[in-house]
Amino acid sequence: FWMLGTNIGQVGWPQSGEVDIMEYVSRIPDNIFGTIHGPGYSGGAGFGNAYQFPGPVASDYHTFAVEWGPDEIHWYVDGINFHNATPADVAPNEWVFNHPFYLILNMAIGGNFGGDIDPTMTFPQELKVDYVRVYGAADTAERFEASFADDTAGWRKVEIPFVFFRRSAVQPEGAPDDGLTLTAVNGYGFGLPANSSGSLMLDQLRVEPTVTVPAWVGRIHQTTEADPLVYGSIITVDVRATNYSGTTAQPFLVVPLDGEVGYVPGSATDGAFPLTAGQMAALGYAVAAQANAGDVVAVAYNNPVANGQDATFSFQVRVQAAQGAVQHTLLTPAGATSSNRLDITPTVIVELPLLADTWVSSGLPNQNYNAFAALIARTSGVDNVLLTFDRSTLPVGARLVSATLRLNATFQSGADGKELRVMNVTPFDAATVTFADGLTFYNPGPAIPVALGPLDLDATAQVAGWDAAVGRFAAQDGLGYLAVSASGPAGRVAFDSLETYRAQPPTLTVVYMP
């Protein structure tokens, strides 16, 4: 029962190494032998030991084993340790047992070790084996990781200095926490980030003795919980830049926003801050021609960082494109680093035309407000805004991603703290409808707080409800109906309408997958 190095075809024997887990010769019926063979200690000069049984070995089954690890091998028979080997035992010769081996089970007769063949021997003879098992020790190796961006078509060389590696967040039980010492490397692997696409092809992996490390090394990575990633989805951008300049420095780190996204206000962390197009231009950075001076176009960081330490921050962006891909670049004093790429699942964005708007009031149940110059929602009673949209450009049964109703609030009375909700409503004629018509309001959406100016209400469930409605609740003649209600402290909220002078009337933007 023995092993040979898998490289025997390249280096030959004994350079490949040989581990004899158990050797038995019938001329010494009470003994078994455990031995290693390598360059300078092979054949009769191998390093081994014998174990003597109280009787013939062949009279019963026995368990033979080795425990094998880097720079050590231990032999056992029936749980008894009878031999050990380390590099010191074969020095100054080379230890050749820290690479893969394969197992061999065989029975032979004669030879130098077996001796002369007994002329009375009969055939066939048997070697009976109950089982062969291979066990692995618990994997307690400490994990480290580093990332890189593949932003080049075709093959390219990627250098990752060991100083880039950081201890992984997830470690096996019993893993040490003593840093990346490189005294032993038990394995490595590669993987693609979550929610990324494409394939990873590797040609060679080499360890080089020296690599030039720049003064600043940046890493930037994007993640999202959206699946699929579509218009309106949120992406988190995590940034880290390590100072290798040799001294404490205060870098100006900048991440220009990808053209397919918009900054989520207030999302920058750890001292990072948004930069507007005007500020970027004043700092000498290129700015897209279509950007307004007040538009947020980048996120920056400008705090002191000690040598060998990291500047870390994150921020969030919202996808504002119907298709394409999102990839960000971190600009450091030493150069640029690109993030992973996230592909946007194509969608269609339509703004449904507003055909009519009005409101109804339980206080004046027979009054029609279609020609009124504002839309009113009141918290007391039932004063709800009514909207009629042309839904002919939205396919029946479309796979909705989102629907956003925008209202422009111009006035509110009473105390603050009011909230608005969008709802479904039974069909109506805006030119004649009154509260007395007995409209049914149902399927309320999430509430948003009232503030003057543009307000965006989530109407996804309500637009989806147009297809779900049946009977008298169903949309008619390619029309879609929505209502808006107010709740909270007593008072009313006024909005622009189609009849308001220089108005910003309600809009309904729908995103769906074709």
Give yes or no: 225 in active site: no
Q: Which amino acid is at 444?
A: P
Strand 144-145 versus strand 261-263 pairing type: unpaired
Nearest to 312 by CA among 370, 270, 358, 259: 270
| Contacts of residue 417, Cβ cutoff 8 Å, sequence gap at least 6 | 449, 488, 489
For residue 16, which amino acid is it? S
Task: Say how many Å lie between the first and final Cα of the chain, rounded.
Answer: 65
72 is catalytic: no
Task: Report d(CA 31, CA 114) in Å as an integer.
Answer: 13
> Please, are residues 244 and 215 in contact by the beta-carbon 8 Å criterion?
yes
Annotated active-site residue in 23, 72, 94, 499 = 23
Rounded distance between C-alpha atoms, residue 439 and residue 297, angstroms: 46
Three-state secondary structure call for residue 479: strand
Residue 58 dihedral angles phi and psi, to the nearest 5°: -75, 0
Secondary structure class of 45 (helix, strand, coil):
helix
Q: What string of H, E and C letters represents the secondary structure of 291-356? A: CCCCCEEEEEECCCECCCCEEEEEEEEEECCCCEEECCEEEECCEEEECCCEEECCCEEEEECEEE
253 in Cβ contact with 334 (< 8 Å)? no
In 36-187, alpha helices (H): 87-90, 111-114
Q: Which residues are catalytic?
A: 18, 23
